[in-house]
A and B are shown apart, each in its own frame.
Chain A
Amino acid sequence: MEEKPVHQEHKNSPGYGYNILIWLTLISLTCVSVAVAGLDLGAYILLTALVIATIKSTLVINIFMHIKFDDPIFKLFFSLIIFTLFVLFVLTAFDILYR
């Protein structure tokens, strides 16, 4: 069997500065989450929290977990899992929204 390289650095990996910028963005979004929790947004509070969480996880998955720079197969796998998660949310909503 052919020897395959165990690990390859991605050609387009971001530098430290970019990573720190992402980190600061994540911290800021956490602060926003905490601040928003104190506001009376009624039914929109859940939606707001989910939007912030989605932005944060998108940054972590793409940048810190290098999915943005990786092979398409990994993007496909991640998309599959995100889709499954979305379906789980929708199905749970059939109970929560109509109870």
Chain B
Amino acid sequence: MSNSISTSIKSFYEYEGKHRGILGWILSTDHKRIGLLYLWSMVGFFLVGVFLGFLMRLEMLSMGKTIMGPQTYNAIFTLHGIIMIFLFIVPGIPAAFGNFFLPIMIGAEDVQFPRLNLLSWWLYVTGGLFAIISLFLSGGPIDTGWTFYVPYSIRTTTQVILPLIAAFILGFSSILTGINFITTVHRMRAKGMTFFKLPLFVWALYATGWIQIIGTPVIGITILLVIIERVFSVGLFDPALGGDPILFQHLFWIYSHPAVYIMILPAMGVVSEIIPTFARKHIFGYKAIAFSSLAIAFIGTLVWGHHMFTSGMSDTARWVYSFLTYIVALPSAVKVFNWVATMYKGSIRMSAPFVFVMAFIVLFSIGGLTGLILGSVATNVHVHDTYFVVAHFHFVMFGGTGFIFFAALHYWFPKMFGKMYNEKIAMTAVGILTIGFLMLYFTMFILGYEGMPRRYYDYLPQFQFLHILATVGSWVLISGLLLMFGNLLYSLRKGASAKANPWNGMTLEWMTSSPPPFENFNYHPEIKFGPYEYEHYEEAVKDEYK
């Protein structure tokens, strides 16, 4: 398509609604603007989380006190966890890219409940502000870890209630997004868009929406119970008051393990978009991938007990949860095998989003396979609460969701902003990020296996070399992040104009201008072909979008 198409159609940026300026953004019910509001907010929180992680690694550069004492270290790893989990990865891909692209990919003008959508962003911001304000209130920053385990979270004198309220509010934001997406998929699909013609990203968001609706209320109620116990000394979880601390762990992980799938499922959906586009090939096993999302959503809801193998839970429960954990590996493996099979004999175009996906497959596979070590009771007991767990978690969450967040940012950047970025710099950034990532987190596998416990600000002399290596790795990783974000920010201002369909994709977001108009399309989309049927590319894509 020629650039004239993208410039002749008024984009949603130019649309003049009821409000202008900043109010035109923070009061807008346009799903694209809300998606971008989420994106900017999350990138901001992510950078804060990265800075806190950088400080933690700096502290671990040498034995003893390096730049902070143990209490500060406790507060910083707690904040790092809360910010990264509740303010970045959980809302992450669904709130930013889901909001922007789900309606477009199904041929809709907006989500089903636009005002509810805006409310969810306001709740997100309010929750974030509460978390920040809590740092400056009496008692000081929370030091419980992001898991808020009792009885410590009931007894600590640090400020616990406000961060808990923040997490409660953020949960509401997540539920509203889930309700909106599920309803939108059921009620707003364009003519011809049957369920089995939905892009796999939409399937992933749909499955994620169900976890958000079913799982999040459990953590909401649990948080309220902790607040009630702290304020009124009701004996719910604290054994000193007659409560059961393991009950808290059950309730916490009934949400927080499925939350891992809230974080990773949308990322898997993005992978299922990027691979066919850059391999120019129909995705291998469309239905298997679609149903594996639902299977992961359901089975993932049942495996929370593997976080509690050393908690004092019954032996019967331990083998039951271990068995279920092994089952959830199956649908995850289905996806990975199908992605690799899709690339087989494809006409692969090596671009930054695709290279991010390649890095993801390696890192996520390492994360997934080490998950089996943790899923087995015998080996779990050995490495429980060590750096091995920290490494596994970061391989899955950062190497998985984080890398795909960046892949999505590069893949959809031309569509969202109408600009292209420097491909060479983007590819260089992927390389630096991956090297830094492996130096930082693979080292932690070895540290954990050798017995280095997590959440300690100090360590024994035999761990020093690996800690230095990990800290240097964090510097390399941050260099890659700065290069990547710098490239994208520069491209926002100086980048060349993007075509409507720069990657020759077949899903609907590539069948409209870059950036899209206010109502997403200047025509009524009618779907005749599946989202990855490249054999029908010529027929499916209008000339002006080629």
Taking beta carbons and an 8 Å cutoff, which residues of A are in contact with B?
Answer: 1, 4, 73, 81, 84, 87-88, 91-92, 94-99
Shortest CB distance B3–A (Å):
30
List 8 A–B pairs whose Cβ atoms lie within 8 Å, in order of A's numbering.
Answer: A84-B298, A87-B302, A88-B301, A88-B302, A91-B317, A94-B321, A95-B246, A98-B316
Q: Which residues of A contact B316 (CB under 8 A)?
A: 94-95, 98
Q: How many residue pairs bridge A and B at CB < 8 Å? A: 45
Does A84 contact B314, Cβ atoms closer than 8 Å?
no
B93 contacts the other chain (CB 8 A):
no
- Sort chain B's interface into a size bin: 20 to 34
Interface residues of B in 220-262 (CB under 8 A from A): 246, 250, 254
**Nearest CB in chain B to that of A93: its residue:** B317
- Extra contacts, 6 of them, besides A1-B191, A81-B213, A92-B250 (Cβ < 8 A), are A1-B524, A94-B314, A94-B320, A95-B246, A95-B317, A96-B314
CB closest residue in chain A, given B186? A73
Which B residues between 515 and 531 are near A, CB-CB below 8 angstroms? 524
Asked if B432 is at the interface of the complex by the 8 Å CB criterion, the answer is no
User: Are A95 and B250 in contact, with the CB atoms below 8 A?
Assistant: yes
- Is B47 on the interface with A (CB-CB < 8 A)? no
A99 touches B305 (CB 8 A): no
A61 to chain B, nearest CB (A): 15
B298 (CB) vs chain A CBs: closest residue:
A84
* B214 in contact with A81 (CB, 8 Å): yes
Q: Which of A1, A84, A96 contacts B301 (CB 8 A)?
A: A84
Q: Are A91 and B320 in contact (CB under 8 A)?
A: yes
Distance in Å: Cβ of A68 to nearest Cβ of chain B: 20
Whether B16 sits at the interface, judged by CB under 8 Å, is: no
Q: Nearest 5 CB-CB pairs, A to B?
A: A98-B314, A95-B317, A98-B316, A94-B317, A99-B314
Q: Which residue of A lies closest to B316 (CB)?
A: A98
A98 contacts B190, CB within 8 Å? no
Kindly state the separation between the CA atoms of A1 and B254 in the bound complex, as whole angstroms.
41
Separation of A43 and B214 alpha carbons in the complex (Å) = 29
Q: Is the CB of A95 within 8 A of B314?
A: yes
List B residues at the A interface (Cβ < 8 Å). Answer: 186-187, 190-191, 213-214, 246, 250, 254, 298, 301-302, 305, 312-317, 320-321, 524
Q: Determine which of A1, A73, A87, A95 lies in contact with B313 in the assembled complex, contact meaning CB atoms within 8 Å.
A: A95
Q: Hey, which chain A residues are within 8 Å of B191, CB to CB?
A: 1
Q: How far is the CA of A65 from the CA of B321 in the complex (A)?
A: 35
Query: A81 to chain B: closest CB distance in Å?
Result: 6
Residues of chain A within 8 A (CB-CB) of B190 are: 1
Residue of B nearest to A88 (CB): B254
**Bound Cα distance A8, B129 (Å):** 40
Q: What residues of A have a CB within 8 angstroms of the CB of B187 in the complex? A: 4
CA distance A66 to B315 in the complex (A): 43
Given A98-B315, A99-B314, CB of A91 within 8 Å of CB of B524: no
Q: How distant is the Cα of A87 from the Cα of B298 in the complex, in angstroms?
A: 11
A87-B258 Cα distance, complex, nearest whole Å: 14
Identify the closest chain A residue to B246 (Cβ): A95
Which B residues touch A84, using CB under 8 A?
214, 298, 301
Question: For residue A1, which residues in chain B have a CB less than 8 angstroms away from its CB?
Answer: 190-191, 524
B411 to chain A, nearest CB (A): 28
Q: Give CA–CA (A92, B52) in the complex, Å.
A: 36
Q: Give chain B residues whose Cβ lies under 8 Å from the Cβ of A94.
A: 305, 314, 316-317, 320-321
Residues in A neighbouring B321, C-beta threshold 8 A: 91, 94
Q: Give the distance to chain B from A45, nearest Cβ to Cβ, in Å.
A: 15
**Across-interface contacts of B315 in A (CB, < 8 A):** 98
A98→B302 contact, CB < 8 A:
no
Shortest Cβ distance from B213 into A: residue: A81
Q: Distance (Å) between the CB of B193 and the closest chain A CB?
A: 11
**Complex formed: what's the CA distance from A98 to B317 in Å?**
8
CA distance in complex: A61, B250 (Å)? 26
A95–B305 Cα gap in the complex (Å)? 9
What residues on A are CB-neighbors of B250 within 8 Å?
A: 92, 95
Task: Considering the complex, give the chain A residue whose CB is closest to the CB of B108.
Answer: A1
> Residue A99 contacts which of B254, B313, B320, B524 (CB distance < 8 angstroms)?
B313
Q: Which residue of B lies closest to A4 (CB)?
A: B187
Interface centre among A91, A98, A99 (most CB of B within 10 A): A91
Can you name the residue of chain B whose Cβ is closest to the Cβ of A92? B250
| A92 to B104 alpha-carbon distance, docked (Å) | 41
Q: How far is the CA of A84 from the CA of B210 in the complex (A)?
A: 11
Q: Give, as a whole number of angstroms, the nearest-CB distance from A90 to chain B.
A: 10
